[in-house]
Amino acid sequence: MDQDSAPGVDQIGINLLRIVTGTFFMAVALDLVDGFDPAILLRPLLGPALSEVAGATGLLALAIWFMLGTALRLAALSLALFVLASSFTANFVAAPVEDLSAFWYDLTLCCGVLLSYLTLDARQMRRASVLGHQSRARRIAAARRVKPRRVAPGTAPGTARRDRPAPGAAPAHEQGNLADIRG
């Protein structure tokens, strides 16, 4: 298996970061934590009650799609666009007073979502999907051909197994040397 020469976070770490980020958006959709208003984009079209359900459902679906990693670029861009448009509308269009700090907070979340796929190459993008990636067994080429040999049991029952000598029991000139165990 080829490893990157530069140290960093491996694919499992990137998937965990993406899942943690996605769970925040799920918590916002379920109204468990404070965040942007996902219903503000749909409120002029659907009314207050239906827009709350549709906005939360849309955000929840985008967060789950992002966490699963299937079509990660499209999922991340869709989620970031939804968050950015909702935050901009809530903080600059619908609000009587502009709230730059809340918009900045949501903008950094969008950047984190976009960074979840921007650092991945083509091979890592294929492995990013939590459900779609399947590990495949590879055949490893042996350096030399293995020749099995038959091992006959010893004639005496005590000769088949020997205890390992205690450290320091061997003569000084034999310590540190490995015995030749090839037959």
State pLDDT tens for residues 14-72. 788 888 999 999 999 998 998 888 899 888 898 889 999 999 999 999 999 998 888 88
Whether residue 4 is predicted with pLDDT greater than 60 in this model: the reply is: no
- The per-residue pLDDT for range 111-165, each reduced to its tens digit, is 988 888 777 777 777 777 766 656 667 777 777 887 788 877 765 555 545 566 6
**Assigned domain for 28 exists:** yes
**Assigned domain for 122 exists:** yes
**Assigned domain for 35 exists:** yes
**Assigned domain for 166 exists:** no
What's the total number of domains in the chain?
Answer: 1
CB of 38 closer than 8 Å to CB of 58: yes
Alpha-carbon separation of residue 103 from 26, 44, 80, 179 (angstroms): 19, 21, 13, 70
Whether residue 110 is predicted with pLDDT greater than 70 in this model: the reply is: yes
Q: What is the pLDDT of residue 24?
A: 93
Residue 156: its H or E element:
none
- The domain in which residue 65 lies consists of 11-127
**Assigned domain for 50 exists:** yes
**Assigned domain for 48 exists:** yes
**Assigned domain for 154 exists:** no
